[in-house]
Amino acid sequence: MTTPTSPEMLVPRAVEASGNAYAPFSKFQVGAAIVVEDGSVFVGCNVENSSYGLTLCAERNAIFAAVAAGHRKLKAVAVVAKGDPLPWPCGACRQVIAEFAEPDCPIYVASVDNPTHIESTTLGDLLPHSFRL
């Protein structure tokens, strides 16, 4: 069944967002799509900077857009990138996802070059014992 949280819905949105990635330094274009509690989808792409450390990942850009729009409950996350390797969320993004999602939140990862091959895991598997205040 196709639901708002299904990978077939989210991965194409992430692929679309990856086309807007600003990645002139790494050349690694990443797109993310997240679905929130009411079924709305927010997207993000990585945005790099000449001052490299200012780069922000696709996942965090998508999550911050959702939070800015008033949403704090993530139901699923999809991340894609062009080429290799698959863009498993970095540690910082895992921690930010954990702020707004339950451990059973699905995380889908795929390549833009083969977007129907989707690997699936959960936040709890990617970041067990996450830090919470």
Distances in Å between the alpha carbon of 126 and those of 20, 25, 91, 107, 122?
26, 27, 9, 9, 6
Per-residue contact flags (x/-) with ligand THU for residues 76 to 95, judged by CB under 6 A: -----------x-xx--x--
Instruction: Tell me the C-alpha distance between 34 and 130, whole Å.
Output: 20
* 86's tokens: 């698959």
| Residue 39: CB minimum distance to ligand THU, A | 24
Query: Are 46 and 30 contacting, i.e. CB atoms less than 8 angstroms apart?
Result: yes
59 binding ligand THU? (CB under 6 A): yes
62 binding ligand THU? (CB under 6 A): no
Segment contacting ligand THU by CB under 6 A, of 2-10, 50-58, 97-105, 111-119: 50-58
Q: Which residues are catalytic?
A: 59
